[in-house]
Structure 1
Amino acid sequence: MRILLKKYPVLLGSLLLTACAGRPVSDSPVGEWHLKPECLYYSGYDKGTEIVSVQQRTLRAVLSNYKTGEADILDLSQPERLNRIRRLNLELKKGEELTSVAFHPTLDAFAAVIDAGESRGRLEIRDAGNGRLLDHVQVGYGPDAVVFSEDGSVLLVANEGEDFSFDKTDGEFFSADGSISIIRLNEKGRIKANANIEMADVSHREGFIIAEKGHYLEREIDWDGDGKISKQTDFDGNGKIDNKRVKLGHFEGAAVYGNEKKGEAKILIPITADSKTLLEPEYIALSPDAKRAYVTLQETNEVAEVDVENGKVLGYFNMGIAEHEADRKYDGWIDFNQSVMALREPDGIALTPDGRYFLTADEGDTDTDALDDEEPLQSGGRTMSVFDAKTGDFIADTGNQLDEITFTHGVYPDRRSNKKGAEPEGVVSFEMDGQPWAVVGMERADALVLISLSNPKQPKVVALGKIPGDETRAPEGLAHFKRGGEHYLLSANEMNGTVACFKIVRDKFTLEH
């Protein structure tokens, strides 16, 4: 049952919502589900723990530290106390970044993808016991995610290609195209085939939506060529830093602007319907038989369908618009009775265990060139959505349930009301008690949310687990595993260098009666 909320006062910029947020978790009625925090693993770094991947067979996980270029191998056999087995230094070169990792399903090996800046990135296969490089191959520009097939014979890499450059000679902004790499491995985990496939060039894609006021990507770009990103820039050269928009050049025929107060850190790249360059693969869901893959294209509000067998991007499913009630104003009041229409712009993606549906975490990524509430079409659905994997047809979404449950538990970020709410970022799906389930990471609420998919046409939010600690956690990578018939979740929290472990539990009284 959805919560009907009335207006409650809160202090600006605070989390003093708990007093008016309804019943705390410990007072929940008999039979309810809970995400129970089991432990918190500290990497020893203040940030950087971004992606975590589990090998169910051995109850181990590999964790990426993007700030240091290291991978931690964790022991999950005692979920109440995660232990680091070893830390492996991947010895990255200057300017390189470890962006994602994935544990091989059966071998003592893991995959790591390295972003090499202006050069093409690479995939590395590493020994999980000693970190030794077993094999490697060049992939596309800006690799950002990697996944294994269930049998470990296929690897997919999403090459985002999101970095932009500026050519002062002709005043043009440009970026490498995004792509998808399909790598095939032999039984020993060595690379036997590699294909880097381009995105399908489909002009005037069906259902593509452009906001009335225009949507833009905020990108860090070295506009003046001095080798660094300035947070304030005198774009017009008048000797003053003003809070004004200045035209900086063009991208594919459209004007590019910057604000001197935001400098090179937030240059606005316009979204256009025909831009192949803006197709930036983000996250990947691979079908159980490894014949199809689904890749989020957050910036253009699409999901690419990939024929893995034949190495081809077949086309794009448009994610459409989420419409529901929400709190859209940062004014010290939490009031879920305002209408929101938003491009979903999904980040994370997962397939249900039977491969019938794909699920998207609709975070949002673009910005509008409009004042608050002036542009009716917002960025970010604030939802988890369900789509038919065969047709791409929209089935249902969670409406405002995600923001509502974060409010109920006192972690709703009012400061984000006029932006993207609590921001669902990652999603995982699994089977429990013979039914499909999902867990979504809420980046701005520092929490995980459990969702029942027993009726995919009506996804139901049933529990929230708050990541321990008071500082910003920002859950990024999620992973599910089982131990002794119990279900657990891992959350890699990039902003405070931790991994949280949650156990999914249900009140015993209901189970016994």
Structure 2
Amino acid sequence: MKIFCIITLVSTLLLPACVSTPVEPVKWDLKPVSLYYSGYEKGTEIVSVQTLTLRAVLSNFGTGEVDVLDVSQPERLRRLARFSLGLGQGEELTSVAFHPSLDLFAAVVDTGVKRGRLEIRSASTGALIDQVEAGFGSDAVVFSPDGRLAMVANEGEDFWFDQQKRQFFKAKGGISIVHLDRDGLIEANNNLRLADVTARKGFVIEEKGHYLEVGIDWNGDGNISKQMDFDGNGLIEDKKVHLGRFEESEVFGNETKGERKIMIPVSRHSSTLLEPEYIAISPDASRAYVTLQETNEVAVVNLISEKVMGYYGMGSTEHMADLTNDGWVSFDQSIVALREPDGIALTADGRYFVTADEGDTETEGQTLSGGRTISVFNARTGKFVGDTGNQLDEVTFAHHLYLDSQSGRKGAEPEMLVSFDLEGVPWVAVGMERAGAVMLISLADPERPKVEALGKIPGEDVKSPEGIAHFMVGADHYLLTANEMNGTVACFKIIKKEPEA
């Protein structure tokens, strides 16, 4: 009887403690569920989903074709149709986007030295419905949520050399704002040039040298050489040779790198170097945010007045990293790096924009190129909120996907990203170009974005995920990655992680 009373008393005392134990937050994981093969070795670059019909459009830059996929059964992606855009010589399909509600998709064609174009096509037949001239180096395209606007980022990244003047030239980048009627026909188009960039607040130039490495046909033979006897002495030497001028700056090349890596100086006064990469449109379609990777900025466009409101300097990030390709990975070196964002997305409430900080220049000072981060900014003010530090590389390494050969370059390289809400919490998913993977990042605390999961794209070959898209089937969340170097699309399901024992 005495023993029974003691046991009862202990159980009673412990009961409140058990009841008040805090519940662990839900953990999420990425499960690969299918892989679509285009039938080509590479080229699958951009993918976009129409959630109403659970169809996707997929571009192939190598063939100039668009695949329409059925994604209603994510475990078995199925091609519904393949359309050739009938591109001419020197033309390239650079981007696609599915209209939010109509049976239409947009396709962007880069035509080289001429202005590119935006095509509106039937998603059922591939027929050309309408088209309009865009800017130079037309690249990414995106629709507003209501489908009444399409925007094109015209990168204008091609350089050429005038041998007589010894001068390098480049087309200016810009933004196309295309208005569509209720049937998806083009009503108006504004090819908006970017504003003067002189003395912009937050613009960073590395004092010891800040360059774009670009391929330019310097000698006019129609080819981009890997080595070049620039000074004509009959030798290929590892040395800098003066090649000419770009605007007010001298341009140099290294003979061992040839025409494929000519060094164009990034200068404070050059509006020509503004090269729009990707665009995010606010939920109410009043603003657009455009990444300018080479100058480490985001341009803010007022879509009512169709004017550039200003530029947010993306600044730099500081964290620990591995910077040496020596066969040993150890994240014990401190870096300061310009973010230089590539992909950009807005959270569903429009409060924050999030960037994938890949990097695209070369520096010769202490500040490096490419943050190796996902960064969060206040969309109204441009104020920095938080970034992932070195989580992307560390998680990649933990999954045995980190390449030490990239340590001295830009790490695992975050490329494009997509934002969505998951059970009331904002998240982003980002494709990691050098890791062949996609990462899931929680923005529950925007000041401390946290990598929660990594999904490896199936297969052992090089994948290089470029485009990424999110969609839902019922209550389930899925991600698609377009993997340009092996001609596939991978599908991942976002699942709740089993609690640890």
Bin the TM-score by the shorter chain.
Answer: over 0.9
Match of 1:194 in 2: 189
Partner of residue 13, structure 2: none
**Deviation per residue, 1:266-322 (Å, 9 max, x gap):** 111110011100000000000001110000000000000001111111111000001
Q: What is the aligned counterpart of 2:35 among 40, 62, 66?
A: 40
- The correspondence of residues 22-421 of structure 1 with structure 2, limited to 5 A, is 32-368=27-363, 370=364, 375-421=365-411
Give 2:11's aligned residue: none
TM-score by length of 1: 0.92
Amino acid at match of 1:122: R
Match of 1:85, SS? strand
CA apart distance, 1:259: 1.2
The answer to whether the 8 A contact 1:233-1:260 is kept is: yes
Q: CA contact under 8 A between 1:473 and 1:493: conserved in structure 2?
A: yes
SS in structure 2 of the partner of residue 406 of structure 1:
helix
Partner of 1:471: 461
2:485 corresponds to which of 487, 491, 495: 495
In 1, Cα distance between equivalents of 2:272 and 2:225: 25
Preserved contact between residue 119 and residue 130 of structure 2 (Cα < 8 Å): yes
1:186-212 deviation per Cα after TM superposition (whole angstroms, max 9, x unaligned): 011000010001101131111111113
On the 8 A contact 1:30/1:509 being kept in 2, the answer is: no
Which has more radius of gyration? 2
Paired residues of 2:197 and 2:268 also in contact (CA < 8 A): no
Which of 431, 442, 457 is residue 432 of structure 2 equivalent to?
A: 442
One-letter code aligned to 1:461: V
Secondary structure at the counterpart of residue 412 of structure 1: coil
5+ residue gaps in structure 2? Answer: 1-23
Two-structure CA RMSD over aligned residues (Å):
1.3
- Cα deviation, 1:89-112, whole Å, max 9, x if unaligned, reads 000000000000000001111000
Tell me if the contact between 2:38 and 2:44 (Cα under 8 Å) persists in the aligned partners. Answer: yes
Q: Which residue of 1 aligns with 2:19?
A: none
Per-residue CA deviation, residues 457-478 of structure 1 (Å, 9 max, x unaligned), is 1111100001111111011000
| CA shift digits 1:17-68 (9 cap, x unpaired) | xxxxxxxxxxxx9963211001111111111111000000000000000000
Superposition deviation, residue 258 in structure 1:
1.0
Deviation of 1:509 (Å) = 5.0
CA distance in structure 2 between the partners assigned to 1:86 and 1:97 by the alignment: 20
**How many Å apart are 1:481 and its aligned residue?**
0.2
Aligned equivalents of 1:377 and 1:60: distance in 2? 44
Q: Counterpart in 2 of 1:22?
A: none
1:498-513 mapped onto 2 (5 Å cutoff): 498-508=488-498
Unaligned 5+ residue runs, structure 1? 1-28
Aligned AA (1:452): S
- Alpha-carbon distance in 2 for matches of 1:30, 1:465: 20
Residue pair 1:343, 1:364 contacting (<8 A) in 2 also: yes
The count of aligned residue pairs is: 478
Q: Distance in 2 between matches of 1:469 and 1:314?
A: 45
What is the CA–CA distance in structure 1 between the aligned matches of 2:149 and 2:161, rounded to whole Å? 37
Checking the alignment, whether the CA contact within 8 Å between 1:363 and 1:382 is kept in structure 2 is yes
**Which amino acid counterpart does residue 419 of structure 1 have in structure 2?**
R
Distance 2:180 2:275 in 1: 25
Larger RCO: Structure 1 or Structure 2 (Cα < 8 Å, ≥ 6 residues apart)?
1
3-state DSSP of counterpart to 1:306: strand
Q: What is the deviation of 1:399?
A: 0.4
Bigger shift: residues 325-334 or 116-125:
325-334
TM-score (ref. length: structure 2): 0.94
Counterpart CA distance in 2 for 1:323 and 1:359 is 17
- Write out the 4+ residue segments of structure 1 that deviate beyond 2 Å after TM superposition: 29-32, 507-510
Q: C-alpha distance in 2, partners of 1:100/1:509?
A: 40
SS in 1 for 2:396: helix
Q: Is the 8 A contact 1:30 1:507 kept in 2?
A: no
Do 1:248 and 1:257's aligned partners in 2 also have CA atoms closer than 8 Å? yes
What secondary structure, in the 3-state scheme, does the structure 1 residue paired with 2:294 have? helix
